Each structure stands twice: as structure tokens, then as C-alpha cells.
Amino acid sequence: MKRWQVMKRLLPMLAIFSLLMAGCGRDDLSVLRPQGPVAQGQFDLIKLSISIMLVVLVIVFAISAYVIVKFRRRPEHKDMPEQVEGNFKLEIIWTVIPLILVLVLAVPTVKEVFAFGEDHANDKDAIQVKVTSHLYWWEFEYPQFGITTAQDLIIPTNKNIAFELKTADVIHSFWVPSLSGKMDTNPDGTINRFSFSAPKEGVYRGKCAELCGPSHGFMEFKVKSVSPESFETWKTAMKAPMVAIEDKALAETFKNQCLTCHAVGDQGGVGGPSLTGIGSREAVASILLNSETNDEGNPVVENMKEWLHDPQSVKPGNKMPAPKDLGLTDAEIDGIAEYLANYKLEY
């Protein structure tokens, strides 16, 4: 193949790669903009190892460039150059230097790994959160408060959050890039623990980081760090009784067809994400972002309708039956969508 033909094939690939990499630069999904102490420690490690590598790279390249220029073959060089075998001093130097570098890397790495795995499970002051991953959604249980929610993990700014991770089906991985590294959720009753904190108020996006099925890429969640006062208000609001649908017939349909799997307030069952206060979540089904502006009016209602009219087109392979297959009419679906979108929690 001629050189330009190779280039013709390589260029589009490079273009696609740069586009893909540009996608990794999202502010709220970046390891390079740490927002908490755990992520900061890990970012410092990245910087340390890259600096060491850069120094080694520059020195090695400088020496080889010097040697290539200085000792290159000249026209007057007719004889075989002197052959050298071994140099004790040099060999010691190039064994000891990497050893020192490895030590410089190892000490903070081990320290950081242990800090990451630090177990706050018995820390009375930490907030305990049991995370259960499901194809394709996240469940968050707060055993200290008797609260279970989904998709948006609400935490106070001033506490360590002690996680206990498990899965309801296959392996997933819990990852909030700006707050900490990844932690797998393993089947067979294995429980993984770790902790982090988010001292600044804000919304941090999380992703499943372990390929788990066709909608893996849509398996997002959000960590919402709020002031301690807001957290208290949120806790109370979560425990309030369910706000029912006004229309009696629609309320009955909702109860029979939806509350079998979903909990709302003090009502409902298990198998699907809790819908309590879903109107104030960051997204519907974790991926239809409610913050994105939308010409058709209230984005929460639009997203809710989009999801309820055809959940499979939003998240292929997800485990929610389409409401129209449950026998709901379009008008009923729209009514429930309005109700859920306006089911908000003040906090």
C-alpha cells in the first residue's frame, strides 16, 4: 500500500478518536477536576507518576539524541569501533535509579489505596449507604434513616459516606469520576466497601463502569451534595406519606399497574426504582436529563412522557414493561406522567 493510501485510512480514524476523546472532557465526568479528598488524592498520584515518567522520558531522549549525534559514523571512521561488554558502575546506576523511582511511586500509592478502602462501616458519624446495582438503574438505601431512593444519591456536604455495594444481577461498577475511583458490585453476596465525601455542594455525575448489557452506557446516576440543613429536610420529605393522584380511576390504575414494582412515599412494592419525589430528580430513568432546555415546555413532563410511552426506545433491554402493554391508554399514560413530573420534594 502506498503511503498516502495508509494516511487516507488513518486520518478518519484519528478524527473519530479525537472526537471520542473530546467527549471525555465533560466537566462533571472528569477525573482531572477532583471535587473531594479521595479524588484529589488519586489525582495527585496521577500527577506524581506522570511527572516522574516525563522526567525519565526527557533524560533518556536527551541522552540518546546526544549519543546519536556525537557518535554517529563519519567518513573517516573505517575500523570496527571498540566493543564493550558490561560496565559495572553503569549497571548499578541504572538498577538503583528505577528502584528509587518505584519506591517514590509505591509509598504514596499504597497510602492512597488504603485511604480509598478505609472502612467507615462502624463510624457512627458517617452516613451509611447500601448501593444495589440493577440492570440498568441504581438503588440507594440509607439503613440509619429507613429511606430507600434511586438514581439520585443525596448526601450532606459535611460527612463521610460509607458505601456497601452489591448487585441484584450481574457485575456493575460504581463510579463518580470527580469524587473517587471505581468500585465493582459483585454477585454471589460479596459486599464491597469504600467511602468518599463531597465537601462542596453540587451535582456529580456517576456512571456504571463495567459493561453489563445493551443499556450499559445509559446506566447513569447522580450524586447530589447538599447542605446539612437541606439533607435533614430531604430526609423528612422522603418519609412523608404518598401524595395520591386526584383522579380516582387513574389512582387505581397507578396502584394496580405501577405500585407492584415501584414505591412512592409509604406505598408500593419492590423491583423497580422508588418514584418518591421523582419530579425533583436530575433526570428521568437516569439518562433523560431534566436540566436540558426543551421547547415543548416542562422538560420533566416531556421526559416522563417519552419514558412512559416507550421505555425500550430510551433504554433498550431494561426491565420495565411498557405501560401500553400493561393496558394503559395514551391519556392515562399522560396523566400519570403529569402526576409523576409534579411529584417534587422541597429541600
Shortest Cβ 166–ligand HEC spacing (Å): 17
**Residue 262 interacts with, from Cu ion, ligand HEC, none (CB under 5-8 Å by kind):** ligand HEC
Residue 150 interacts with ligand HEC (CB under 6 A): yes or no: yes
Q: What's the min distance (Å) between Cβ of 314 and Cu ion?
A: 16
Stretch that binds ligand HEC, among 4-12, 185-193, 282-290, 294-302 (CB under 6 A): 282-290
User: What values do phi and psi take at 310, rounded to 5?
Assistant: -155, 80
Q: How far apart are CA 314 and CA 240, in angstroms?
A: 31
Q: How many helices (H) and strands (E) does the chain have?
A: 8, 14
Which option in Cu ion, ligand HEC, none does residue 216 bind, with CB closer than 5 to 8 A by kind? Cu ion
Least distance CB 137 / ligand HEC (angstroms): 4
- Pattern 108-147, ligand HEC, x by CB under 6 A: ----------------------------xx----------
Residue 258 touches ligand HEC, criterion: CB under 6 A:
yes
Find the shortest distance in angstroms from Cβ 272 to ligand HEC.
Answer: 3
H-only helix segments in the chain: 3-23, 37-70, 88-116, 228-239, 248-257, 299-309, 311-314, 330-341
Nearest approach in angstroms of CB 175 to ligand HEC is 17
318 binds ligand HEC (CB under 6 A): yes
258 by Cβ neighbours in 10 Å (0-12 / 13-18 / 19+) ranks as: buried
* 223 binds ligand HEC, rule: CB under 6 A: no
Q: Answer with the entry of ligand HEC, Cu ion, none that 198 interacts with (C-beta below 5 to 8 A by kind).
A: none
CA dihedral (41, 44, 46, 48) in degrees, to 10, reads: -140
Residue found under cell 443499556: 215
CB of 339 to ligand HEC, least distance (A): 9
Q: Which of 321, 329, 330, 346 binds ligand HEC (CB under 6 A)?
A: 321
39 binds, among ligand HEC, Cu ion, none (CB under 5 to 8 A by kind): none
Residue 257: CB atoms within 10 A of its CB come to 17
**73-100 core/surface letters (b: 16 or more CB in 10 A; e: else):** eeeeeeeeeeeeeeeeeeeeeeeeeeee
In the chain, the N- to C-terminal Cα span, in Å, equals 65
Residues touching ligand HEC, count (CB under 6 A): 29
Q: One-letter amino acid identity for 103? A: L
Min dist CB 335 to ligand HEC, Å, is 10
The residue (of 221 and 339) whose beta carbon lies closer to Cu ion is 221
Q: Which is nearer to ligand HEC, 238 or 340 (CB)?
A: 340
Smallest distance, ligand HEC to C-beta of residue 219, A: 7
68-87 residues in contact with Cu ion (CB under 5 A) are none
Task: Please check whether residue 333 is in contact with residue 324, taking contact to mean a CB–CB distance below 8 angstroms.
Answer: yes
Q: Pick between residue 41 and residue 277 the one whose CB is nearest to ligand HEC.
A: 277
Task: Identify the CA nearest to 224 among candidates 299, 286, 308.
Answer: 286
What distance in Å separates the CA atoms of residue 92 and residue 97, rounded to the nearest whole number?
9
Planar angle of CA 158, 159, 165, nearest 5 degrees: 145
Q: How far apart are CA 17 and CA 11, in angstroms?
A: 10
| Binding positions for ligand HEC, rule: CB under 6 A | 136-137, 150-151, 257-258, 260-262, 271-273, 275, 278, 284-286, 307-308, 315, 318-321, 323, 326, 328, 336, 340
